[in-house]
Structure 1
Amino acid sequence: MKKAKPFLIGLAILLCLLILVIVYLVFVPLHSEERIVRIKQGDNARIIAAKLSEAGIIRSKTMFIILTKIRKADRNLKPGSYIFGGNTYLWQTVSRLYKGQNESITITFPEGLSLYKTLKKIDASGLATYEELHKAATNPLLVKKLTGFDALSLEGFLYPETYRFPIEISPDSILAIPAGEFFRRLQKEGIDPFAVPDFYDKLILASIVEKEAGDESEKEIIAGLFLNRMRQQMALQSCSTIDYILEPKGIKRSVLTYADTQINSPYNTYLYQGLPPTPICNPSITTIKAVLNAKPNSYLYFFSDRQGKNVFSKTYEEHLAKQRTML
């Protein structure tokens, strides 16, 4: 009897742990990007579980399959487009399958996201492929139609925001939604882009400032600094423009190499004076305003303190001295 007691205690502990694991898998929310899962004729819960697990939407394929059987959601699955993800727990995920198809999907584009990353994010949702979207985003006729500018692409014009897209929508229409929001935000701030001299150049500069600024308070300062460099015919030497070149190659560095700064590209602001040919990301309205209202200053140099801020200098000697103090 005495030997049985520790065994029962151990069994009770294991049972409690099992219950906790089940509760965790079934009822603890998991945050993930929403994505469209297209169910084909003959797909079953096991196939869907594999897709959701690969997308990071569920923690356990086995528990998903068990719940679909409990909810009887695995019976008579109808082919079509279903949306999974968001801040949901497993029971809710299974319920979505049980209730049927969805009509729209939510995608959030953060500030400073490049066109490449924006299109990749849409591609990951299942809404349209990167190739389809890139073809549309670089179509001169569509770019002119959506922006009114003779730009090379929609880079810079796809406003960072959270959107709900119908799941049955063309690539052109997908891009038209954030492009329309871009001009709505400008209008709300009383900015007429066609009345602002060299607005497209200012948008390009705003995209660089968006990537370089540590916080909101630095944006007007950095904009003024870059304007100072251009007035003195100095290269901008923005690390963010090199990051833009490297990004599609899957390269991300905390510190650029010398070889990186020698890449022959019109986006390389170490090699070429002036602005790159297009924006390097989609900036927020506050950054655009910061460029339009850049603070006059005497700064020509700056570097990151690796703590989320930048250190500014008026001369190269001062710049080097401040860098030495940070070592």
Structure 2
Amino acid sequence: MKTGHWVLIAALAVVLAYGVHFLWGWYGPGPLQHEVPFVVSDGAGMVTVAQELETEGAVASATTFRARARLLGHSGGLKAGEFMIPAHASGAQVLAILQGTEGVMRRLFTVPEGMPSVMVYEKLMAQPMLTGKADVPAEGSILPNSYDYQRGEARALIVARMQKAMTQALAELWAKRSPRTVAKTPQEAVILASIVEKETGKPSERRMVAGLYSNRLRLGMKLQADPTIIYPITQGRPLGRRIRESEIHAVNDYNTYSMVGLPKAPITNPSRASIAAVLDPADTRALYMVADGSKGHAFADTLEQHNANVAKWFAIRRAKGEM
């Protein structure tokens, strides 16, 4: 074989080896030893991002990552946001993640159903990835749910997003309200829903509890809802003890043991389900309820039936050694 042929073969071998190396460096396992979060700022370009990836250890070389991305990557720009890059992610996988075609990392701020505004505020202020100050939201203005947020986002913006969600949900549910609802305004619906939210943790009972309180309001009976006693004392935080006799008789704008009608304002942030229950309550004659030992309630139409249910509940508590 002529010398020229050997030179050509050698050159082809070098090109092939380099090609394999180039492809393996893009599709093969990357150098990252453990999963890491990675932030792409608004307006960040490939040069900056590639250098940050190298600093994090997600790619071996910023320069070769950019070169491979130009030749082998998919078209499309980088997405601003927070991403989770898994251990040993290939260059191809890293680019796909940062272009938003794979697993964008979501950070969620969650408000559980029935969390009062003072506790929402405390949770917001305790979140180190948020910035700025926020006022305690008006009670009942926040819709319990999970909300996306980005690192460095203003707390006030999160509050505004949660309040907008409540406004939209309330408008939607109010438009579909049943003729059985006693709520004359959307605000009254939120107030009554906040009581329903606090009175039962059993989703299947919400409409029944709403129906019971609706009946009491129609008849001019006192609601006698224990959570309305507690709210002026703790602003919705757990009381941590039994209600005192003096607190039952306290006269204020919330205590439904000492007043007829609704409190002046909500006592927590009610869920969408509790608002829906108030706007479409169960068609029931029930006027009384007592815990039944199963995290639910026994309902009664008459005081006589209610007293019998109470006797059963006391017997259950005595059997458990609670009395």
Please tell me the TM-score bracket, short chain as reference: 0.5 to 0.7
Deviations 1:84-139 (A, max 9, x none): xxxxxxxxxxxxxxxxxxx995321100111111111112224468x8422xx3xx
Contact 2:119 2:237 (8 Å CA) reproduced: no
Q: C-alpha deviations, 1:242-284, integer Å up to 9, x for none?
A: 2322334965246423222123321111111111111111112
Is the contact between residue 122 and residue 128 of structure 1 (CA under 8 Å) also seen in structure 2? no
Residue 164 in structure 1 maps to residue 148 in structure 2: yes
- CA distance in 1 between counterparts of 2:278 and 2:173 reads 14
The equivalent of 2:228 in structure 1 is 241
Q: Deviations over 1:29-55 (max 9, x none)?
A: xxxxxxxxxxxxxxxxxxxxxxxxxxx
Find the partner of 1:322 among 300, 303, 309. Answer: 309
C-alpha contact 1:303 1:311 (8 A) present in aligned 2:
yes
Distance 1:187 1:203 in 2: 11
> Structure 1 counterpart of 2:263, which letter?
P
Partner of 1:45: none
Cα distance change, pair 282–173 in 1 and its aligned pair in 2 (3 A): same
Q: What is the letter of the counterpart of residue 266 of structure 2?
A: P
Aligned AA for 1:290?
Answer: A
Provide the residue aligned with 1:303 in structure 2. Answer: 290
Match of 1:108 among 85, 107, 110: 110
Partner Cα distance (1:275, 1:108) in 2: 28
- Answering whether residue 256 of structure 2 is matched by residue 272 of structure 1, we say no
Alpha-carbon distance in structure 2 between the residues aligned to 1:284 and 1:249: 15
Shift of 1:285: 1.4
Equivalenced residue count is 207
Contact 2:111/2:146 (8 A) holds in 1:
yes
**Counterpart-to-counterpart distance in 1, 2:263 and 2:192:** 9
Q: Percent identity?
A: 30
Could you say what secondary structure the match of 2:175 adopts? coil
1:90-239 superposed matches below 5 A: 106-126=108-128, 127=130, 132-134=134-136, 137=137, 153=138, 155-186=139-170, 191=175, 197-239=184-226
CA distance in 2, matches of 1:200, 1:302: 25
Secondary structure (helix, strand or coil) at the match of 1:116 reads helix
**Residue 208 of structure 1 aligns to which amino acid in structure 2?**
I
Q: Deviations along 1:62-101, whole A, 9 cap, x unmatched?
A: xxxxxxxxx9xxxxxxxxxxxxxxxxxxxxxxxxxxxxxx
**Could you tell me which amino acid in structure 2 is paired with residue 123 of structure 1?**
M
Specify the structure having the higher radius of gyration (Cα): 2
Q: Which amino acid aligns with 1:122?
A: L
Amino acid paired to 1:294: P
Distance 2:217 2:174 in 1: 27
Partner-residue secondary structure (3-state), 1:259:
helix
Q: CA RMSD in A?
A: 3.0
- The answer to whether the Cα contact below 8 Å between 1:299 and 1:315 also exists between their aligned partners in 2 is yes
